[in-house]
Amino acid sequence: MISMKEQCICCCEEHTDMAFDDFLLDSETWPELNKAQNSCSCSYCSREAVYCLEKSVKRE
């Protein structure tokens, strides 16, 4: 399991499932799946990231 900075995991297409698992284990909440920003690399294999999983902000 990787450690997350600012509740965000970047991942390539191949590691999206793994990123979801880690995110759920760590923050116990469902992540927001966003398109990765340019120059973001996968947290698992260092290839170019396709998605970024971020903690969804609750608006009250």
The footprint of Zn ion (CB under 5 A) covers 12, 15, 42, 44-45
Integer Rg of the chain from CA: 11
The Cα 52–Cα 35 span in angstroms is 6
How far apart are the two ends of the chain, measured CA to CA in Å?
31
Q: Report in angstroms how near the CB of residue 8 gets to Zn ion at its nearest.
A: 15
In terms of CB distance, is 2 or 45 closer to Zn ion?
45
In terms of CB distance, is 38 or 60 closer to Zn ion?
38
Q: Which amino acid is it at 11?
A: C
In terms of CB distance, is 26 or 36 closer to Zn ion?
36
